[in-house]
């Protein structure tokens, strides 16, 4: 299983751009990089997924360098409601199925 490493926590002021980097040195060729967001007392929610270069949706952007050994989730102009835990996942098993193994994630606190 590809292991991921993320900062345990981050603080940011409202309105700023937040970048959360995930390290996955042992990422496999078949692995996609997926990010989830979890609010207190709720299940995780899919944010974005990518394989290489850059992916953007209405919520976030995901930057993946050519070697794919890391990825950066970018949240533009965060608000208080973006306070949550963010998880980076890169697990695909030998059959090609996604196991969706979560690490400890990054706890983002947005400050007024």
Partner 1 sequence: EAGVVQSPRYKIIEKKQPVAFWCNPISGHNTLYWYRQNLGQGPELLIRYENEEAVDDSQLPKDRFSAERLKGVDSTLKIQPAELGDSAVYLCASSLGRWNTEAFFGQGTRLTVV
Residues engaged in binding partner 1 (CB under 8 A): 32, 34, 41-46, 49, 85, 87, 89, 93, 95-105
Tell me the closest approach of the beta carbon of residue 23 to partner 1, in angstroms.
16
- Give the C-alpha separation, 69 to 4, whole Å: 10
What whole-number distance in Å separates Cα of residue 74 and Cα of residue 72? 6
32/63 with CB nearer partner 1: 32
Output the furthest CA–CA distance in the chain (Å, rounded): 46
Question: CB-wise, 16 or 53, nearer to partner 1?
Answer: 53
For partner 1, the closer of residues 95 and 112 by Cβ is 95
Least separation in angstroms between residue 77's CB and partner 1 is: 24
- Which of 90, 91, 66, 86 minimizes the C-alpha distance to 74? 86
- For residue 45, what are its two tokens? 């929610």
Residue 109 C-beta: closest distance to partner 1, Å: 14
């Amino acid at each position: 299983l590809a292991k991921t490493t993320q900062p345990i926590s981050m603080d940011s002021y409202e309105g700023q751009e937040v970048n959360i980097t995930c390290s996955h040195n042992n990422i496999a060729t078949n692995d996609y990089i997926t990010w989830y967001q979890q609010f207190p007392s709720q299940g995780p929610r899919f944010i974005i997924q990518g394989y290489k270069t850059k992916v953007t949706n209405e919520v976030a952007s995901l930057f993946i360098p050519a070697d794919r050994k890391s990825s950066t989730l970018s949240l533009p102009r965060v608000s208080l409601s973006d306070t949550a835990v963010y998880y980076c996942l890169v697990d695909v098993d030998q059959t090609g199925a996604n196991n969706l193994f979560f690490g400890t994630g990054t706890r983002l606190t947005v400050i007024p």
